[in-house]
Structure 1
Amino acid sequence: MISVYNDEDFLAESLESILQQTFTDFELIVVNDGSTDSSAEILDRLAQRDSRIRVIDQSNQGLTRALINGCDLARGIYIARQDADDWSDRERLQKQFEVLESRRDLSFVSCWAEGITKEGQVLELVTRPVDSNVATEELRFQRQGPPAHGTVMFRKDIYQQVGGYRPQFYFSQDSDLWLRMAEKGPVLYLPETLYRYRRDAESLSSVRHDIQYEFGEFGQACHSVRASGGDESQLLAQAEELTSRVVAGAVDASTDQQRVAATQYLIGSQLAINGDPSAATYLWTVIRQRPWHLKAWVRLFQVWLNFGRPSSAG
């Protein structure tokens, strides 16, 4: 199940990675969340070609509402997620399906994942414990969840039992759901890199990182309250109030460019560590925005030492 909002750059590639899976018995629900770019045309073209695609059009309501609507319409016993700019290995669905079929106690299965730039350079490999009990404990008590939202395939009946994605969570709706599902059954990570997710300095998760973190804290607090047998309704009301403020545009956005620069630095720094000369492009972007960013200058100098100063750097 995929939610789409103005994802024309990578949407066709993302959908093709699902349509070319070795596991073929699925419906691909795509919720078009009020896109204003060419996403709708891309979806219509692919849906005409492949009858497994079900396109659901709605006014822009945000990711959480789109996920709720898509999951409600899903007819399968398992639901697999993917984000509209990400990519799945062609064996991902088959392997995750087989695990859920053989391990009836599991609430969901995930996998290892690679983070990549918009251009496709690998930034990092995110792994998780192979042992299911260890993985479940780390999720519930050490905040170590799936490497990316889209890596997960879960049982629809457990999803429904725990209340599904909750509309109170504008961000971190996935981590809140994983915690509740892990209370019903263990989780498991396939020790294979079956998913790639893109890191974009201007994505919502980057520029709204602080707000995302705040929603994550609400999810953790709800988990603690449930564990002690308490009532989480007050926390949910607070999360809902924060969602209302985000939707209304009442949350301060004055530091957005600072967050973009911070993410650009992290990407450039990781590329430099990986020995990728394209790090210079990201680091120069940071320096143009923040000439006093000492760490960016240091990383850029390291790139120059290793690869020489590119003629286009200035």
Structure 2
Amino acid sequence: MQVSFLIPVYNTDPAVLTLCVNSVLKAAADHHQVVVADDASSNPETLAFLERCDRAGLANLKMIRTADNAGVSHALNLAAAEASGDFLAPVDHDDVVVSQGFSQMLRCLQYHRASWVYSDEIQVDANGFLIRRMYKPDYSPQLLRALMYINHLQLFSQELFRKVGGYREGFEGSQDHDLALRMSEVVEPVHAETIAYHWRILEETQSRSGEQMDLKTIDHSQQALREHFSRMGQPASVEPVLLRRHPDSEPEPIGVYKSRLEPNHALSVSVVIPCRLGTRKVVDGKERILLEHCLQAMSRSLSAADDHVAGGYKVQIVLVLNAEDDLAEAEESIRRHHLGGIAICDEPGFDFARK
């Protein structure tokens, strides 16, 4: 079993790119492959570093370049097309792979005979100092639909990658989340409980760590989630969660999303109310006709209900009266409160269970 690491590069600082490539080469050793895809970088220092890598002549290091800057999804797809490994492992150009954690992931992959595994990670600052450790849960579809918690490091099979169509261009900034959602529709990933990745959080990083996110990234994530729900036969509305970084600041998106499933057909709910017309009782210090009080409360609640709730349900009122009660009067009460439903009379002789 061979793994191909995919590293998309665009005008990366040579200092962090050196750390990234060296860490991946160490993890790859002599058995695994490293594919570096340069997305038409123009930075002379970046280009000089890539030239040195090319001249190194390492058998398991493959360098490819694009003629035009087409985005990270395009670069990753090119790298995947050139990869010879059975599994793919995308790596951001400024991050670090932990070789021992990678070895643990391989053992997890083989033990579970999985086609997709993901690890825990450490977030570091620009200088490589620890910000936080990210210990992730086992696979949770609900959490994945809220944020891209799987993140790095991931190993997934070439077969799975090709089956879902690879990275989709037009989802830049959210390409990993979009791919993970589509792969989750085919197979559940396995969590390898090991730290295999150092994620470098820079000012421009589109992350869930509190940095303000690019509006295009937000749009792409919402689109990816909406399309995911649609493919699953569960249309949903998707909105970004906004938080204030400081009490006086404006709310900002943080890479977390709230989804509301939309019923694809009207659901019926029948509210059965056993009652006797004219029954009175003191409620909140006032004498009230109980049935009128009940219907009034239901009418008010349905009128104020969220559109996502009320719009998906058809509510029917069923009044079960005593034998001596007036059906016409009960039906008029239902209409008067703008509710739909029916009234029926029980047999003579009170029996609450029969009602």
Q: Determine the structure 1 residue equivalent to 2:21.
A: 15
Show CA shifts across 1:37-75 (max 9, x none): 222221222333322111101121111110111112211
Q: Are the structure 2 counterparts of residues 112 and 161 from structure 1 closer, same or farther at C-alpha, using a change threshold of 3 Å?
A: same
Stretches of structure 1 that go unaligned for 5 or more consecutive residues are 231-260, 267-314
Q: Determine the structure 1 residue equivalent to 2:50.
A: 43
Stretches of structure 2 that go unaligned for 5 or more consecutive residues are 1-5, 236-248, 255-355
Q: Relative CO higher for 1 or 2, CA cutoff 8 Å, sep ≥ 6?
A: 1
In structure 1, how many angstroms separate the alpha carbons of the residues matched to 2:30 and 2:135?
27
In structure 2, how many angstroms separate the alpha carbons of the residues matched to 1:42 and 1:18?
16
How far the C-alpha of 1:220 sits from its partner, in A, is 0.7
Q: Determine the structure 2 residue equivalent to 1:143.
A: 147
State the AA in 2 paired with 1:137.
P
1:142-181, aligned counterparts within 5 Å?
Answer: 142-143=146-147, 145-146=149-150, 148=151, 150-181=152-183
1:52-131, aligned counterparts within 5 Å?
Answer: 52-58=60-66, 59-104=68-113, 106-129=114-137, 131=138
Show CA shifts across 1:140-159 (max 9, x none): 5443531x3x4111111011
How far the C-alpha of 1:31 sits from its partner, in A, is 0.3
Q: Determine the structure 2 residue equivalent to 1:31.
A: 37
Q: Determine the structure 2 residue equivalent to 1:185.
A: 187
- State TM-score, norm by structure 2: 0.59
Show CA shifts across 1:9-49 (max 9, x none): 31111111011127531121000111122222212223333
In structure 1, how many angstroms separate the alpha carbons of the residues matched to 2:35 and 2:15?
19
Show CA shifts across 1:212-241 (max 9, x none): 1221111110110011078xxxxxxxxxxx
Q: Are the structure 2 counterparts of residues 123 and 20 from structure 1 closer, same or farther at C-alpha, using a change threshold of 3 Å?
A: same
Higher strand share: 2
Show CA shifts across 1:240-268 (max 9, x none): xxxxxxxxxxxxxxxxxxxxx99xxx9xx
Q: Is residue 101–residue 195 contact of structure 2 (8 Å, CA) maintained in 1? A: no
In structure 2, how many angstroms separate the alpha carbons of the residues matched to 1:174 and 1:117?
21
Q: Are the structure 2 counterparts of residues 127 and 209 from structure 1 closer, same or farther at C-alpha, using a change threshold of 3 Å?
A: farther
State the AA in 2 paired with 1:86.
D
Q: Is residue 17–residue 88 contact of structure 1 (8 Å, CA) maintained in 2? A: yes
Higher helix share: 1
In structure 2, how many angstroms separate the alpha carbons of the residues matched to 1:79 and 1:139?
23
In structure 2, how many angstroms separate the alpha carbons of the residues matched to 1:44 and 1:92?
29
State the AA in 2 paired with 1:214.
D
Q: Determine the structure 2 residue equivalent to 1:240.
A: none
Q: Extract structure 1 runs of 4+ deviating beyond 3 A.
A: 138-144, 202-208
Q: Are the structure 2 counterparts of residues 53 and 182 from structure 1 closer, same or farther at C-alpha, using a change threshold of 3 Å?
A: same
Q: Is residue 136–residue 188 contact of structure 1 (8 Å, CA) maintained in 2? A: no
- State TM-score, norm by structure 1: 0.66
In structure 1, how many angstroms separate the alpha carbons of the residues matched to 2:145 and 2:20?
33
Q: Is residue 138–residue 145 contact of structure 1 (8 Å, CA) maintained in 2? A: no
Q: Is residue 171–residue 217 contact of structure 2 (8 Å, CA) maintained in 1? A: no
Q: Are the structure 2 counterparts of residues 143 and 203 from structure 1 closer, same or farther at C-alpha, using a change threshold of 3 Å?
A: closer
Show CA shifts across 1:145-187 (max 9, x none): 31x3x41111110111111111131220110110111111111
Q: Which structure has the larger Rg over C-alpha atoms?
A: 2
State the AA in 2 paired with 1:226.
R
State the AA in 1 paired with 2:133.
L
Q: Determine the structure 2 residue equivalent to 1:197.
A: 199
What's the C-alpha RMSD, in Å, of the aligned pairs?
Answer: 2.6
Q: Are the structure 2 counterparts of residues 145 and 40 from structure 1 closer, same or farther at C-alpha, using a change threshold of 3 Å?
A: same
State the AA in 1 paired with 2:181.
L
In structure 2, how many angstroms separate the alpha carbons of the residues matched to 1:13 and 1:67?
20
Q: Determine the structure 1 residue equivalent to 2:216.
A: 211
In structure 2, how many angstroms separate the alpha carbons of the residues matched to 1:112 and 1:164?
23
Q: Is residue 140–residue 182 contact of structure 1 (8 Å, CA) maintained in 2? A: no
In structure 2, how many angstroms separate the alpha carbons of the residues matched to 1:31 and 1:24?
20
State the AA in 2 paired with 1:41.
A
Structure 1 counterpart SS, 2:167: coil
Q: How many residues align?
A: 228
Q: Is residue 3–residue 66 contact of structure 1 (8 Å, CA) maintained in 2? A: yes
